[in-house]
Amino acid sequence: MLNDVWYESLTRRDEVLVRWVRVLKEGEVTLGAQSVAGGRLAESAEFFEFMITELEGMLDRWKARHGGGVSA
């Protein structure tokens, strides 16, 4: 098992979440922000933006817990 495999895996997951947010927001625009479906997409995008923020904070706390850095 590679060093910090879980840290690296979650870091890459963040890239996927950013793409999902972009696609959800595009869908919201396409369907209309005032439509029921557009509102659902907006809420989903908001959820994933929240997840991104929380993930960043969690990874920062993990680095701090392990002396400020991760080993390669």
Query: In the predicted model, is pLDDT for residue 72 greater than 50?
Result: no
pTM above 0.85, yes or no: no
Structure confidence by residue, pLDDT tens digits, 4-15: 777 777 777 878
| pLDDT band, very low/low/confident/very high, at 69 (cuts 50, 70, 90) | low
User: Which of the 8 DSSP states describes residue 19?
Assistant: H
Task: Write down the residue that tokens 């907006």 correspond to.
Answer: 42
Residue type, 62: W
Give mean pLDDT, residues 53-63. Answer: 88
Task: Output the pLDDT for position 1.
Answer: 52
Query: In the predicted model, is pLDDT for residue 42 greater than 70?
Result: yes
